[in-house]
Structure 1
Amino acid sequence: MLYCSECCFQTDVVFDHSTGDAVCNSCGLVLESHCIDETTEWRTFDDSNHDPNRVGAATNPLLSGGGLSTVMAKPNGEVLRGLNNDPDRGLIMAFKTIETMSDRLGLVPTIKNRANEMYKILEDRKWSKGRNLDALLAACLYIACTQEEKPRTLKEIFSVANGASKKEIGKAKEHIMKQLKLSEMTQQEKHTGDYMRRFCSALGLNNQAIKAAQEALHKSQEFDIRRSPVSIAAAVIYILSQLSDDSNKKPLKDIAAVTGVAPATIKGSYKDLSPHASEIIPNWYRIYLSG
């Protein structure tokens, strides 16, 4: 509260932190200018418990000493001595790589954190030695996505990996699952329905089409279709698209782009599914289309 000479009474004051002005809340008169803000200026925030820090990065429990270190330097900028010799340099670089891949895929922080924890275990037990680091990090992220029930296809993970091939990522995934004794729940077959909803949403399908696609995908598991789950999902979407009117049909190239499955593979899967189409497509959806 400050006395305003214009209003002639004590009034509430609004501080403009960009200019340092104290402004009367009633008439807008600048009562004081170039005020000094003496409140705390926070720099970073810890995602886990919202604990703000005055300077430096947030602490990381996966690093020794929380990732805090002190470095002395000469006036010319040359580093003189690091008090802890940065023992976690390799981990820090790996975590940054995982963070970059996560950001490019738009993943939530919990997936990134789980992938970091997974790699930390591999590093501590020396299970990462002699392995392709980029493939190992990509595989950690792939498994973390499925464990957090936000699965991504191997092709999506490959698109953000730093030069690692799909074959290398696949081998790294099998190595991690074997060493950490992970259950089959991390396999993409268990989460194909999640892929289906994401694919349909990306193609702009309505709720009825999404529900029909998920039911058709579940029904297709009763038949011996020797195709990958993602290929079958793409083929199911293609079948539903063929049943729709011209305004709702999705071009094969669009389905291929969203699912990451080659057009030729989708056609092959479509050919395998066609004999069973009458059984896998829900009857209610046929009625919905005819109505």
Structure 2
Amino acid sequence: MADSYCSDCKKNTEVVFDHAAGDTVCSECGLVLESRSIDETSEWRTFADDSGDHDPNRVGGPVNPLLGDVGLSTVISKGPNSNGDASVARLQNRGGDPDRALVMAFKAIANMADRLSLVATIKDRASEIYKRLEDQKCTRGRNLDALVAACIYIACRQEGKPRTVKEICSIANGATKKEIGRAKEFIVKQLKVEMGESMEMGTIHAGDYLRRFCSNLGMSNEEVKAVQETVQKSEEFDIRRSPISIAAAIIYMITQLSDSKKPLRDISLATTVAEGTIKNAYKDLYPHATKILPEWYTKDKDTKNLCSPKA
């Protein structure tokens, strides 16, 4: 019990904490003074002979539906004046954690996903893909970083939030673009029979990257809207360039007409597309500029400001 002021009794009275309901109740009149309070006491029993740096009040990790059931096990504790038996320790560790490899992979997925600021649904999808690989016992001897990066790449595609291979490579802990590409092909081939249509990653469109690229460049809402409309109109023409290259070239085209012109180098860094590739895609788009640029955006601007492809 503790003392607290009761607005009904008009005085300090003893209160009772109802831990089950999360209520603080006045012991005099029964008025609920506080509801939904958080119980900060120990969640589990604390034993006097516990030692070490771990927190004895809470045990176990968070429940992950992709991990196996965690059953009860018996652990032989060392005595207070004993160094323990090495043979006993080896026997205990032999049947250790069967999900250790999965836990390591899930941790790597979480770290890479956080570095790319990916949402939880993509992270969960990547973990599910890796779990399916692990179930087929086909991950042994393969580059973990490349496999994890490939799982994230596929998950991004399936969730409609694609990332470029260069973006994935930048957080892959040293795994090369070639290794990630091979890992992606391996995963698709390995799981296609089991997952069927769900392994289809869909077609990438230039518009899939626009929001992120424009945000990286600090473009205004008006410029972003103009870029989106230009990309939509460009799909009516046969521009045989990758969607990422088209997106980068259209951003370059729009920024030339805006007050805050962006250097080609900055656009290349923000979109992970080489400057030469942007120039080639821009060269293909330039003849259609008057047809694909929104009229509301160009009416107050001089389209002659657009650089010639030869420049």
Q: TM-score range by the shorter chain?
A: 0.7 to 0.9
Question: Is the aligned partner of 1:63 residue 2:67?
Answer: yes
The answer on whether the counterparts of 1:151 and 1:191 sit within 8 Å (CA) in structure 2 is no
Q: Which moved more, 1:123-132 or 1:227-236?
A: 123-132
Shift of 1:215: 1.8
Q: Match for residue 218 of structure 1?
A: 232
Question: Is the aligned partner of 1:238 residue 2:252?
Answer: yes
Q: Secondary structure at the match of 2:237?
A: coil
- Aligned pair count reads 253
**Runs of 5+ consecutive residues of structure 1 not aligned to the other structure:** 14-36, 44-52
Question: Is the aligned partner of 1:82 residue 2:93?
Answer: yes
Q: How far apart, CA to CA, are the structure 1 residues paired with 2:217 and 2:62?
A: 39
Shift of 1:244: 1.5
Instruction: Identify the match of residue 115 of structure 1 among 107, 126, 132.
Output: 126
Q: How far apart, CA to CA, are the structure 2 residues paired with 1:257 and 1:208?
A: 22
The correspondence of residues 109-148 of structure 1 with structure 2, limited to 5 A, is: 109-129=120-140, 131-148=142-159
Q: What code does the residue aligned with 1:238 have?
A: Y
Question: Is the aligned partner of 1:250 residue 2:258?
Answer: no
The answer on whether the counterparts of 1:60 and 1:66 sit within 8 Å (CA) in structure 2 is no
Q: Secondary structure at the match of 1:271?
A: helix
Question: Is the aligned partner of 1:94 residue 2:105?
Answer: yes
Q: How far apart, CA to CA, are the structure 2 residues paired with 1:101 and 1:171?
A: 19
Q: What code does the residue aligned with 1:204 have?
A: G
Q: Match for residue 21 of structure 2?
A: none
Q: Match for residue 194 of structure 1?
A: 208
Q: Cα RMSD (Å) of the superposition?
A: 3.2
Q: How far apart, CA to CA, are the structure 2 residues paired with 1:41 and 1:288?
A: 67
Shift of 1:109: 2.1
The answer on whether the counterparts of 2:204 and 2:243 sit within 8 Å (CA) in structure 1 is no
Q: Match for residue 285 of structure 2?
A: 273
Q: How far apart, CA to CA, are the structure 2 residues paired with 1:38 and 1:200?
A: 46
Q: How far apart, CA to CA, are the structure 1 residues paired with 2:100 and 2:277?
A: 43
The correspondence of residues 35-46 of structure 1 with structure 2, limited to 5 A, is: 39-41=40-42
Q: What code does the residue aligned with 2:218 have?
A: G
TM-score, normalised on structure 2? Answer: 0.70
Q: How far apart, CA to CA, are the structure 2 residues paired with 1:268 and 1:68?
A: 63
The answer on whether the counterparts of 2:265 and 2:275 sit within 8 Å (CA) in structure 1 is yes
Shift of 1:278: 1.5
The one-character-per-residue Cα deviations of 1:7-52 (angstroms, maximum 9, x if unpaired) are x942699xxxxxxxxxxxxxxxxxxxxxxx9853459xxxxxxxxx
Larger Rg: 2
Shift of 1:217: 1.5
Q: How far apart, CA to CA, are the structure 1 residues paired with 2:299 and 2:139?
A: 55
TM-score, normalised on structure 1? Answer: 0.75
Q: What code does the residue aligned with 1:139 have?
A: A
Q: How far apart, CA to CA, are the structure 2 residues paired with 1:97 and 1:250?
A: 35
Instruction: Identify the match of residue 171 of structure 1 among 182, 206, 212.
Output: 182
